[in-house]
Amino acid sequence: MTRQGRPVRALSRTELVDQLVTRLVACRMRRRISQGTLAVLLGISQQALSQWEGRRTRPSRRMQRVWALTLGEEPLPERPPVRETCGTQPGYEHHRRTGEDQCDPCADAQVEYMRAYRAARAGRPGPAVAA
C-alpha cells in the first residue's frame, strides 16, 4: 500500500503507545473522570497515571491493556502484525529499525542467523548464513 507513490511505513510500538495514550486521555476527559479516580480503579498512584499521560514514563503492556479496558476502549494488539518478510533475518532487522517488538518467527530467524554467524566466525561448519 502506498501514499502518493511512497511506501507506507508501519508505526513503531512507541508511536502506537503514544496514539493509545492520546485516545485514553481524551476518553477519560470526555467521561469527566479525574486522574485520582481512574488511578484508584487501575490500582496505581495518581502520580503514575500523570506520568503516563504526560509521556514521562510508559505503562507496561499489561497496564496499557487494563487502562484501555477500564475505559471501554480497544487495547493495542499483543504482538505486531506479521509481514511478508517475517520469519527472516531481514524481517527481524525491520522490526529493530522501526522500534517494533519482533514477532516470534523473526526472533527465531535471528537466533538461527546468529548461530550460523558465530559458527562461521569460529571456523566451524554450520548452517548457511542467508542475508
pLDDT one digit per residue (tens) for the chain, 131 residues: 444 555 556 666 677 778 888 888 998 999 999 999 999 999 999 999 999 899 888 888 888 888 888 888 888 766 655 567 788 888 888 878 877 777 888 888 889 989 988 888 887 665 665 55
CB-based contact 129:116 (threshold 8 Å) = yes
pLDDT of residue 32: 93
Q: Virtual CA dihedral for 80, 81, 85, 86, nearest 10 degrees?
A: 60
Residue spans in the chain of domains classed CATH 1.10.260.40:
13-70
Residues sharing a CB contact under 8 Å with residue 41, sequence separation 6 or more, in sequence order = 70
pLDDT of residue 1: 44
Q: Virtual CA dihedral for 16, 20, 23, 29, nearest 10 degrees?
A: -150
Residues sharing a CB contact under 8 Å with residue 29, sequence separation 6 or more, in sequence order = none
- What's this model's pTM, rounded to 2 decimal places? 0.52
Cα separation, 91 vs 89, in Å, equals 5
Q: Could you name the CATH architecture of 13-70?
A: Orthogonal Bundle (1.10)
DSSP, res 6: E
